[in-house]
Structure 1
């Protein structure tokens, strides 16, 4: 039996970083060859980076891609190994998202993507056209820079497979795995035994399971080897690509890469016996379907992937067949600890700033943002302790150390004190408890902390308004109107944003360092969905690691971090009632977020999922919730909750246009910039929809527990 070495690769690419992307690709090929691999697969659009957006429309992007490919083809690393490389290709004046299959100085095939991702975070149809000529190829005439390297004038372009001396390889590109009729089915029936999938798949909480199941299912009935390569890291946008490269054989995962890592290059390899695929396929029903399958054009290459050794020949220590193992899944709270932390590290090192700044309020949201930064510092300390030279070099630069410094950031708290700055911006409305919690958290994680009162600044703005208008606004508890009360709250919130940027720009200078800090936001997805924040307040920042994470998941994360990170101080944040602390505290009144919003955070999560994921308008949301909540609430009560949500959502939708760029982690994110494309001016009272809800609500029976108990009592 011929053993076969295969490889899938995860790379941390950066959009338009052609030099860096080239170096990482070459390093991955080199590692693959060192491990005896004969096939190397990289992530989607690895030469350019996946997230180039409208730069894909520029001729420069295509030109530089060919220049990088020429460097790869002529490199020593790429000799003697079959490589699957991703880049955009212009064919007959049409731009395609392609895989370029190369071997020892030649291009064998350019395979364009046939089914494009075009929903959620993806807009591939804006830049690329799908290849619609299935199982068909055309001649693609190569640019002169490639001809000068390969001597080729033209190569096959289209939907074909590559036939080696000992097996057959087919390409499947990212979204094509998720489609109902995936290409691997027809390719497998035509004898393709190895499938490569080059992906640009982003992280979402609880998403990995679906990806793994699709990869396993791809070869469970069909049989075959499936190589899945994914980008890992932040390539310059709101998404974090979570790696987890995998190799599956006959429905079983036999190799898995890390899901969250600071490594720029990670190569996952496995040794398989191709005869296992042939044995798995030896069934009558599969053979009958295969006998009638349509033919794929085969691009032949005089190269064998197998090493030509047999188990009976001995000397196979380096060819131990990889066995199945249990796939590693992170719990959602672990995903929050790791994903946003890795994203923040990429953003920090690539923006070449000196650290992060957070307005630390003493509440759970800013606490979560701060603990995620601390988690980032823990990952850096672990990587430095392992001797990761790239992490150490970046950490020295960010911390203000010279390149030849002996400094190694092996202590998370110490490194946090160098790059992370927190500030409690108190007013007369702040409580002693929140100020204490902020200070104690900063001490626990090691951040450089500033504590200030901003009452004089708030009073100055309030007095200015009084001087100009002749009237002085009052809080509600002092007899003021709703307009006065809201305006006075917003003064504080917006001044905190101004002060945050002031301190972020000057705190490094205060500490005798150069450069500035990036301001981190701490508004969660539920508050954004409801619009429960002030436009341009301290939620306005440079980036926001929790902007697409629910309050419920953030609480679970804080509970997890309390033990995993040894931070007992976090118990106080979990027990605290969420409050903005923008109104005066009296004996009879303490401001509460849920009371202000008129709905709970748990209810907001339900509304968000139904609105975005289930695609519900007001009426369909009402009918669904009548079934889900009907045992505890009457139809009229459910109707009021749904109407209240949609009214507040609609009238605050304009705030979504100014949301801080956030780490994408949740399917019901209301991010207006990329993910949730909806109007920001609504008929906020939805007269037609709300009228229909009211009509149906009064006609439905009340099945709530209270009403049922009342009926039983009356009957008795």
Structure 2
């Protein structure tokens, strides 16, 4: 039996925070030593941070990354550590993993496949390394092998797939199999998305089975650069069996997941199954043996369960919010709490992000992480870090006020009620004077609605500025799709935590949160119909009456934007869910509102990327601000459905 103890490590890094990043790496290495780990895999670009964007072109960043590497090397006595950083060779940039063995740098492995779709732009900065290519790279008065390398220590052979390398049909694992590689390391920076944990588990376990190896996957952790949340997942599998999986979304700066593997078991199985001539690698780096025959006591690893979608949303959002707050050095959260579904969700997530931090870190470590703040004695941290303001007008109802007040009190935040009716009257009076006529709801509906949302922004911004806190905007993805938001009003804020999820899911999640998180105060908002409360009460305004049922809006959005379908294709896909005339009306409204509101989406606050249906034009969904508006495509749909809506709408209908 040939046992070695291997480990993956996740790290909560920050772009260009070289001191903090190196400190986390060294702490992870010390923890690995305490656990008698012999081979430790740390994430991709861990020294610099993954999300450095165009700063990767900076000589300062490249030099600082190498300085960080030089600080790490002496602390690796007695084990092998792999850690990622950007490097330059022949005036080209490469995404690289440094291999350090017993306090000695022994080589660099360069990434071969670059992620360039969706939220990823690696080809903008890096070049892909050529398969099989090896060069000698000079650094610090020495030369090191650089490129497509395999390493061997005491008869244990290991190679790499760096994140995207593993997600392609032709991948390094296939060549590693031919080269008798025992352990494949995958240092990654893979964004969280709903359900991605199951996909990764299949990738890791199936690769270990198909290529007769042990496979280690190590991801980044936390909100590193603003939009992307990393779940910090660590997976270890052998011969198709998952041996270890950590608890994701930790508030710790790092985690280590280790397990003992029997390399001889791999060798025996390979002897039985090989039916081809192996390829003997020319790019093999032989290293001095550090591996003992056994590492008592035998460690089998743990397998933490995966979460449901509701739990994933809760865990990702709370960690993302907490990291965003502390890394931006904001002094808590401020939001305009209307008592409706979106703002109530934001309130709960902010409160839970702080409660999770308190539970997982303890009060002392929490205060240490927020060391840039001064806290008042005798007041709870929650009341100092979460402030909610209800800003009512004559059109606001008592139900939403009660909802906002009860929820803030229930989670322990600070609540303020501001009546802004006099401000509304002032602006209406000024506009009346300018127009030379009275403003009426029949004639001036949109302007009269928007001014109420817009006049709430200056006061809440002022409060956030006074407190030095992070102001949240509460818009969701469904609203972004059709522009159902007031620019410089309810879109005001530095972060839009709900921008990546649709309204239908938010409504479902609130029902889940009321029971699963034991927040009975959510019963108030769960009993209300979603409404902007911007028209007089006798209009009985609701969001779905203004737009369409949220379920069908989200279905149309998925077909039209995620799946790139034309209006006619959307109609054919969804036909039968509603009467034809009603469905074509919904589709027509969606495409017209989508086309004319791209300028709003360009101005929304940053949001978290949670799935492959994001509408953020800066990272995912590009669309022209000026466009043809789908008029011909809508006419094609109307003709197909034997209806036409190109004439003036019927009485009571408005698009």
Q: TM-score range by the shorter chain?
A: over 0.9
Deviation at 1:442, TM superposition (A): 0.9
Q: Which residue of 2 aligns with 1:96?
A: 94
1:636 CA displacement:
5.4
Q: Distance in 1 between matches of 2:559 and 2:82?
A: 40
- Provide Cα deviations, 1:129-162, integer angstroms capped at 9, x if missing partner: 111x2122112122xxx33xxxx2x211111211
Q: The residue matched to 2:105 in structure 1 has which SS? A: strand
Shift of 1:349: 1.5
Question: Which residue does the alignment assign to 2:164?
Answer: 175
Task: Say whether 1:698 aligns with 2:647.
Answer: no
> How far, CA to CA, are the matches of 2:536 and 2:404 in structure 1?
20
**Secondary structure of residue in 1 paired with 2:71:** helix
Q: Cα 1:35–1:670, aligned 2, differ >3 Å: closer, same or farther? A: same
C-alpha offsets along residues 33-57 of structure 1, whole Å, 9 cap, x if unaligned?
1101111111110010000011111
- The offset of 1:368, in angstroms, is 0.2
Given that 1:546 and 1:662 are in contact with CA atoms closer than 8 Å, whether structure 2 keeps it comes out as yes
Spell out structure 1 runs of 4+ moving beyond 6 A: none
1:614 CA displacement: 2.3
Hey, what does 2:335 align to over in structure 1? 358
Deviation for aligned residue 1:330:
0.8
The answer on 1:595 being equivalent to 2:584 is no
Aligned equivalents of 2:182 and 2:317: distance in 1? Answer: 37
- SS of the residue 2:638 aligns to: helix
CA 1:437–1:296 in 2, change beyond 3 Å: closer, same or farther? farther
CA distance in 2, matches of 1:94, 1:377: 43
Q: Does 1:300 align with 2:275?
A: no
Counterparts of 2:275 and 2:549, CA distance in 1:
58
* 1:153-164 superposed matches below 5 A: 154-164=143-153
Q: Report the equivalent of 1:455.
A: 421
Residue 322 (str. 1) matches residue 276 (str. 2): no
Matches within 5 A, 1:433-452: 433-452=399-418
CA deviations on 1:424-480 (whole Å, 9 max, x unpaired) are 0000000110011111111101111001110111111111122233222222xxxx3
Whole-Å separation in 1 of the counterparts to 2:187 and 2:567? 39
| Pairing 1:337–2:314 present | yes
State how far apart, in whole Å, the 2-side matches of 1:606 and 1:530 are: 13
The Cα of 1:296 is off from its aligned counterpart by: 5.2
Q: TM-score, normalised by structure 1?
A: 0.86
Q: Secondary structure at the match of 1:233?
A: strand
Contact 1:529 1:669 in 2 (8 A): no
Q: Is the 8 A contact 1:161 1:298 kept in 2?
A: yes
Q: Distance in 2 between matches of 1:267 and 1:321?
A: 13
Q: Quick check: 1:187–1:296 contact (8 Å CA) kept in 2?
A: no
Change (3 A) 1:68 1:326: closer
The TM-score with structure 2 as length reference comes to: 0.94
1:288 equivalent in alignment to 2:275: yes
Aligned partner of residue 479 in structure 2, secondary structure:
helix
User: Judging changes above 3 Å, is the alpha-carbon distance between structure 1 residues 250 and 399 closer, same or farther for their aligned structure 2 residues?
Assistant: farther
- Equivalents in 1 of 2:282, 2:545: separation in Å? 63
Q: Secondary structure at the match of 2:620?
A: coil
Contact 1:334 1:557 in 2 (8 A): no
Distance 1:553 1:206 in 2: 15
- Note closer, same or farther for the CA distance 1:364–1:296 as it changes in structure 2 (3 Å cut): farther
The answer on whether the counterparts of 1:6 and 1:38 sit within 8 Å (CA) in structure 2 is: yes
**Local SS of the residue matching 1:452:** strand
Matches within 5 A, 1:187-266: 187-266=176-255
Secondary structure in structure 2 of the residue aligned to 1:398: coil
CA shift, 1:399, in A, is 5.2
Aligned-partner Cα distance in 1 for 2:97–2:371: 37
Q: Secondary structure at the match of 1:465?
A: helix
Q: Which residue does the alignment assign to 1:513?
A: none
Contact map agreement 2:375 2:381 (CA 8 A) in 1: no
Q: For each residue in 1:623-643, what CA deviation from the matched residue of structure 2 results, as whole angstroms up to 9, or x when unmatched?
A: 3x1xxx334445555444323
**Aligned counterpart, 1:490:** 450
Question: Are the equivalent residues in 2 in contact too, given 1:500–1:538 (CA < 8 A)?
Answer: no
- 1: distance between equivalents of 2:413 and 2:31? 38
Aligned twin of 2:7:
7
Q: 2:554 aligns with which of 599, 605, 630?
A: 605
Q: Compute the displacement of 1:528 (Å).
A: 0.9
Q: Which residue of 1 aligns with 2:48?
A: 48
- The match for 2:493 among 517, 524, 541 is 541
**Structure 1 SS opposite 2:422:** helix
* Equivalent residue number for residue 676 of structure 1: 621
Corresponding residue pairs, total: 643
The C-alpha deviation readout for 1:333-358, integer Å capped at 9, x for no partner, is 11222211111111111222221101
State the 1:590 CA deviation: 0.8
CA distance in 2 between counterparts of 1:372 and 1:438 reads: 14
1:517 — aligned with what? Answer: 469
Aligned with 1:641 (options 586, 603, 624): 586
> Residues 108 and 146 of structure 2 are in contact (CA less than 8 Å); yes or no, is this contact kept in structure 1?
yes
Tell me if the contact between 1:4 and 1:307 (Cα under 8 Å) persists in the aligned partners.
Answer: yes
Whole-angstrom distance in 2 between the partners of 1:335 and 1:281: 38
The root-mean-square deviation of aligned C-alpha atoms, in Å, is 2.0
SS of the aligned residue for 1:192 comes to coil
Please state if 1:380 is matched with 2:332. no
Q: Is the Cα–Cα contact under 8 Å of residues 43 and 189 in structure 2 kept in the other structure?
A: yes
TM superposition shift of 1:663: 1.5
**Counterpart check, 1:394 vs 2:346:** no
Q: Is the 8 A contact 1:355 1:398 kept in 2?
A: no
Matches within 5 A, 1:620-631: 620-623=569-572, 625=573, 629-631=574-576
Q: How far off is 1:185 after superposition?
A: 1.8
The structural deviation recorded for 1:522 is 0.8
Cα deviation for residue 294 of structure 1 reads 7.2
Decide whether aligned partners of structure 1 residues 621 and 182 sit closer, same or farther in structure 2, where only a CA change above 3 A counts. farther
Secondary structure of the equivalent of 1:606?
helix
Q: Does structure 1 residue 499 correspond to structure 2 residue 459?
A: yes
Query: Aligned to 1:698, what secondary structure does the other structure show?
Result: coil
Compute the displacement of 1:618 (Å). 3.1
